[in-house]
Amino acid sequence: MEPLDSIVIGAGQAGLSASYHLRRLGIEHVVLDADDAPGGAWQHRWDALTMLDVHNVAELPGDTPPPHTAERANRVVPATFAAYERTHDLPVIRPVRVDRVDDDDGLLAVHAGERRWRTRTLVNATGTWSHPFLPHYPGMETFLGEQLHTVDYPGPEHFAGKRVLVVGGGASAVQFLGALAPLTDVLWVTRRQPVWRTEEFNPEAGAAAVALVEKRVAQGLAPQSVVSVTGLMLREQEQEAARMGVYDRRLPMFERIEPDGVRWADGRFERVDAILWATGFRPAISHLAPLHLRSAAGGIQLDRAGRGTTAVADPRIQLVGYGPSASTIGANRAGRRAALGVQAALAAESVAAS
């Protein structure tokens, strides 16, 4: 089979934006997506998450943003993405879970089980949702209550009448505490002091947060999530929990987990029925391991001087929704830069071949 000019892996916001721009540039490609249906990670988010909870889901290129209403985000965003794929006739193939990408005599071979594609360039847009991060604490396996990660969050009603420990210092933990506090007895534990933002989020604050993460990935360090460096803010939905003092009763990290609760190094113990690990995600990039893109510093170094999406170790590869573009706005914009990166890599290849 003839190789394609490009393959996009992942059809979330980042992948769809890249596909839209590749199509505009006339670059022949397909988008391989692991999910059964359109919507990227949004289709898997918990039912209680409404469009009012998500901080301005950015519109896709050439589209208008989804409505800011009390409707479920896991319905509205997938419906928006599905319509977008149809309107722009984007070449999405699903479900295809890519398990490995390797070098094939100057081309890239993309493997998904028995299926295989060859391509000159690649845009990786696989997000983080399929790679939840769960830290390990001694005694974790002895806990007799329930342990869930953000990916499994069933909504606040599930925890009614239970004593719940929320672990994590990010936006998800803040949202869970806000929803749980009026219904249950909640405790909050974080490893680091949370950083609160007192001012409304504005473009300058957003740009500063992105610049911080950009600097990290330009050095080849593992990226920090953009959302984590913008700081935390309490919204209308969290005011009741705030009045109850939930956010002021934060505890440092415990030392170990016991069958019916958690214990600190000083011997203090708290009995809990459930532990909700709001401990974040890591980039879902294990399928890229055969390409050896990771730097000694642990992350994939991206070219900051250029488009900010090109892998320094292999300019045929673009990463979107990774590092500085791992936010709704960032993913949207990175799609265009990645498509230009693909165009430049194809041009370099044809110059080398002539």
Give me the helix-helix angle, 328-353 and 13-24, nearest 10°. 40
34 touches ligand FAD (CB under 6 A): yes
In DSSP terms, 173 is beta-bridged to: none
Which C-beta is closer to ligand FAD: that of 96 or that of 257?
96
Half-sphere exposure of 21 (CA within 13 A, CB side): 23
Site for ligand FAD in 134-153 (CB under 6 A): 150
327 touches ligand FAD (CB under 6 A): yes
Question: Comparing C-alpha atoms, which of 125, 103, 105, 112 is closest to residue 314?
Answer: 103
Question: Comparing C-alpha atoms, which of 27, 57, 20 is closest to residue 42?
Answer: 57
Which C-beta is closer to ligand FAD: that of 128 or that of 301?
128
Tokens of 299: 């992350």
Contacting residue, 73, 76, 90, 98, with ligand FAD by CB under 6 A? 98
Half-sphere exposure of 190 (CA within 13 A, CB side): 18
Minimum distance from residue 256 beta carbon to ligand FAD (Å): 27
298: DSSP letter? B
Alpha carbon separation from 40 to 11, 13, 221 (Å, rounded): 6, 7, 26
Contacting residue, 48, 92, 186, 326, with ligand FAD by CB under 6 A? 326
Minimum distance from residue 294 beta carbon to ligand FAD (Å): 17
Contacting residue, 4, 7, 27, 54, with ligand FAD by CB under 6 A? 54
Which C-beta is closer to ligand FAD: that of 34 or that of 257?
34
Residues 6+ apart with CB under 8 A from 196: 231, 232, 233
Segment near ligand FAD (CB under 6 A); pick from 59-67, 122-130, 139-147, 190-198: 122-130
- The DSSP bridge pattern shows strands 115-124 and 107-112 to be antiparallel
31 touches ligand FAD (CB under 6 A): no
Q: Per-residue b/e over 27-38, b at no fewer than 16 CB within 10 Å?
A: bebbbbbbbeeb
Length reported for the chain: 354
Which C-beta is closer to ligand FAD: that of 56 or that of 142?
56
Minimum distance from residue 124 beta carbon to ligand FAD (Å): 9
Contacting residue, 8, 18, 27, 32, with ligand FAD by CB under 6 A? 32
Rounded distance between C-alpha atoms, residue 95 and residue 80, angstroms: 19
Residues 6+ apart with CB under 8 A from 307: 318, 337, 338, 340, 341
Segment near ligand FAD (CB under 6 A); pick from 33-41, 250-258, 262-270, 303-311: 33-41
Segment near ligand FAD (CB under 6 A); pick from 61-69, 123-131, 161-169, 237-245: 123-131
- The site that binds ligand FAD (CB under 6 A) totals a number of residues, namely 36
19 touches ligand FAD (CB under 6 A): no
Minimum distance from residue 298 beta carbon to ligand FAD (Å): 20
Which C-beta is closer to ligand FAD: that of 279 or that of 301?
279
Minimum distance from residue 71 beta carbon to ligand FAD (Å): 16
Site for ligand FAD in 162-221 (CB under 6 A): 172
Segment near ligand FAD (CB under 6 A); pick from 161-169, 207-215, 250-258, 323-331: 323-331
Residue 181, helix vs strand vs coil: coil
With residue 86 as reference, give the H or E element that holds it: helix 73-87
Residues that bind ligand FAD (CB under 6 A): 9-15, 32-35, 40-41, 54-55, 96-98, 125-130, 150, 172, 227, 281, 284, 287, 321, 326-329, 331
